[in-house]
Amino acid sequence: PNASVLHPSLESVQKLIGTGGGMEVLAKIFTHWTSALFYVVAEIYSSVSIGLMFWQFANDVVSVDQAKRFYPLFAQMSGFAPVIAGQYMVRYTSKAPDLGASLNRLTVAITIAGVMICVMYKIAKNYVERTEVKQVEEAIDKHAPKKKKPKMSMVESAKFLASSQYLRLIAALVLGYGLSINFTEIMWKSLVKKQYPNPLDYQRFMGNFSTAVGFCTCIVIFFGVQVIRILGWRIGAIATPSMMALLAIPFFGCILYGLENTASLRLAVVLGTIQSLLSKTSKYALFDPTTQMAYIPLDEESKVKGKAAIDVLGSRIGKSGGSLIQQFLVLGFGNILNAAPVVVAIYYSVLLGWIASANKLSGLFQAKTEMGKAESNEKKKR
């Protein structure tokens, strides 16, 4: 309701920073700074808070052998979220009289979901504590001190990652996904906005896309379980970058060929939608479970500190780094579509580095897993 008071006019911002090229994009961001801030906070909360806390909790209570079965199922359950959220957007928020009312409807849903997360986490935590009473009592009998979860600054997180090759490779995987998905997603969304200039039409399209991602994740997850259990961690880890590399070929090819008419724009949007849909599905079904499994063989300090550092640094640097690179390209080329050849070159370079890191991490993961099993068997014999 106070947007007219809080937001400066587009003309005043353009006078301050200039016009033309990428400055026009920056001017629009500054003009609608409250919406931009809302988006930034939402991105940080979803990855740093929810992602970090959930997977740390899961890693604490699930073993490596159990993870091969349950982690893909966790991803399957998460697939229902975009289905529900997408249909909420399509059937309710996008039918609001204007964009402001639509955002209010979204905020109500986000608030309810946040409360549900807190309640469910409390219930799950209490259940785990009740079932592990015996282990806690044994630890007390042995006078084992209770370990406190360390809190690290950004600099400390970077130093801790630099000290371990294993953690550096996990970070490379997370960074690779963040960069590569950002390169294709921003370009694809810019095409979708051209096809759907009305914000509510665009919101409706993205709601249907979110629903499709959820349905595909629930279906593909069954294959993901078998891929990890039968073919192993390595195949599951390299499946996502390999699929993204293949699916991006027709999408980038269409853009490089030219978007001179409505038909070519529609084709590019369809190809980009398929590429983004299957990339996200593969991410939820294979990338997330394999990445989280990689933490399990680590010692407690590396598991807690490493995950905190990677989730904060790797994930954020991946997405923000990709956006920053593309912002410089926009400043240099006028818009992101003109910079498509450079984006393609960077995109495939990132994917090659991602696959190389996954191959190297696979050997270390197998070695640590076998070492952990050997130590566990030795303790049982004693």
Q: Report yes or no: 229 and 311 within 8 Å, Cβ to Cβ.
A: no
CA distance 244 to 350: 11
Looking up tokens 């960069």 gives 179
> Cβ of 315: how many Cβ atoms within 10 Å?
22
**In the chain, alpha helices (H):** 3-6, 10-17, 22-31, 33-44, 52-61, 64-78, 80-91, 99-131, 133-141, 154-162, 165-195, 199-226, 233-257, 262-282, 288-293, 300-309, 315-333, 340-381
> Cβ of 183: how many Cβ atoms within 10 Å?
26
- For residue 221, give the nearest of 75, 36, 15, 85 by alpha carbon: 75
3-class DSSP assignment, residue 60:
helix
Tens place of pLDDT per residue across the chain (382 aa)? 577 777 777 777 777 766 665 567 677 777 878 878 877 777 767 666 666 677 777 777 777 667 666 776 776 677 788 888 888 888 888 888 888 888 888 889 988 988 988 898 888 888 877 776 655 555 555 544 444 445 555 566 667 667 788 888 988 898 888 888 888 888 888 889 888 988 888 888 988 988 888 888 777 776 666 777 777 888 888 988 999 999 999 999 988 887 777 888 889 999 999 998 888 888 877 888 888 888 888 877 777 777 767 776 666 677 677 777 877 887 777 777 788 888 899 999 999 999 999 999 998 888 888 887 777 667 666 6
CA distance 289 to 180: 19
CA distance 221 to 73: 7
